[in-house]
Structure 1
Amino acid sequence: MVSTASVIGIALVALGMVLTPGPNMIYLVSRSITQGVRAGLVSLLGVATGFACYLAAAVVGLTAVFTLVPALYTVLKLAGAAYLLYLAWQAIRPGGRSPFEPEPLPPDGPWRLYTMGLVTNLLNPKIAVLYVSLLPQFVDPERGHIALQNLILGGTQITVAMIGNTLITLTAGSLAVFLARRPAWMRVQRAFMATVLGGLAVKMAADRSRAAAVTP
């Protein structure tokens, strides 16, 4: 149904996005450091709900869009490649701020923690672009069952994202201390993620096979 290469590809994209600083990481780290791990995990439940909303929209909507407007596939592919290059630059640009420098956040109750996690993810441009532009690049129309492919690939992305974000939430305090004392490690991590994201962007932009496959 879904090729192994597609599953590995979306897993790498998901890993790159989890480890690249963005709204979700900054919020979860800040919340975990300032209010404790439990508050971070409650916030993470909201983030998970946001992922589920995006996945549902992808499964229901993208299949119809690509059937009606095949040329949109190429546009989304190029937009996705450009966004990956942007993330790669953000990872290595001079003067980038570490997400492990927490934002000052007032203590909140469980419901507000959950809601803020949900809203942060729903308004996260990284996740929006991932589902609208990047996820479709790993769907192969020739294999059929496009909605099911979206479901499997989206499930892979959510699994990787949740494992990564859970580990970040649980270790936020320790990582903040570790990286503050060893800034070279942060530079290595950012360089590695920039390489992964940049490589995927080039491969995506150069691949014409699937764009042709979508065209009737």
Structure 2
Amino acid sequence: MEQFLIVAFAHFLALLSPGPDFFLVARSSVSAGWRVASGACLGIALANGVFIVSAFAGLAILRDGGALFIALQVAGAGYLLYIGTLFLRHAGQTQLATVGEPTAVSGWWRCMGMGFVSGILNPKNALFYASLASMVASSSGAWKTVYAGWMFSIVLAWDLLVAIAIGNRRVLRRFARALPWLERLSGALLITLAMALLGHLVSG
């Protein structure tokens, strides 16, 4: 139980640091409401689930320096550049009136796809779960199942909480003037992350 608490705490602390997944959930919630953004939340959780299973199974894609992992990093950098550019291009165009309207099924599925791509192309997720897997390597299969279920559930719950909080109409009205600048800042941060990742690959 002590090991479980340590692993669970480390996992939750990692969730608190904003990254590409956070920005995607936030913008989806602002532009379409938390119900549509819940699709992105599920997609991100599913991507995390893939990494969790891969880490516990010891698959080679999570080995730093391997060809598969390098390919994942390059693809991730490309996706960060795409999302960052998208944020910058559409900054200030978000219509807050759409928040709270009935959920569009097509928008939900699109958000889920973007969430999955964002999560699966995030090298930080791969390395993080690989490091956690090393902590529980000696645990039984039953305990690993408990860890996996807990991590998946917490990722989904946390992202849903973020979506609901940010998609609140009262909160959005208070920050309406700041939203364009927040979108620009988010886009710039994502592009900076992408360039830093590419720089690391080149220098490495």
What letter corresponds to residue 41 of structure 1 in structure 2?
A: W
Q: SS in structure 2 opposite 1:123?
A: helix
Is 1:43 the counterpart of 2:29 in the alignment? no
Superposition TM-score, scaled by structure 2 size:
0.57
- Counterpart for residue 97 of structure 1: 89
**CA–CA distance in structure 2, aligned partners of residues 81 and 157 of structure 1:** 21
Q: Is the 8 A contact 1:80 1:130 kept in 2?
A: no
Counting matched residue pairs gives: 182
- Counterpart for residue 178 of structure 1: 178
- 1:1-216 aligned at under 5 Å gives the runs 1=3, 2=7, 7-9=12-14, 11-12=16-17, 15-20=18-23, 22=24, 25-31=26-32, 40-51=33-44, 53-54=46-47, 61-62=53-54, 66-67=57-58, 70-73=59-62, 74-86=66-78, 88-90=80-82, 96-102=88-94, 109=102, 113=103, 115-116=105-106, 118-124=108-114, 126-131=115-120, 134=123, 135-139=125-129, 140=131, 141-143=133-135, 144=137, 145=139, 147-170=145-168, 171-180=171-180, 183=181, 186-195=183-192, 201=197
What letter corresponds to residue 89 of structure 2 in structure 1?
A: R
Cα 1:3–1:123 shift into 2, 3 Å: closer
**CA–CA distance in structure 2, aligned partners of residues 71 and 137 of structure 1:** 12
Deviations 1:116-171 (A, max 9, x none): 454123311x5335247643321233322555544444444334423332233123
Superposition TM-score, scaled by structure 1 size:
0.55
Aligned Cα root-mean-square deviation (Å) = 4.5
**CA–CA distance in structure 2, aligned partners of residues 101 and 157 of structure 1:** 29
**CA–CA distance in structure 1, aligned partners of residues 83 and 49 of structure 2:** 29
**Structure 1 unaligned blocks of 5 or more:** 32-39, 207-216
**CA–CA distance in structure 2, aligned partners of residues 4 and 114 of structure 1:** 36
Q: Is the 8 A contact 2:20 2:118 kept in 1?
A: no
Cα 1:57–1:86 shift into 2, 3 Å: closer
**Structure 2 unaligned blocks of 5 or more:** none
Q: Is the 8 A contact 1:85 1:198 kept in 2?
A: yes
Q: Is the 8 A contact 2:34 2:167 kept in 1?
A: yes
**CA–CA distance in structure 1, aligned partners of residues 43 and 84 of structure 2:** 28
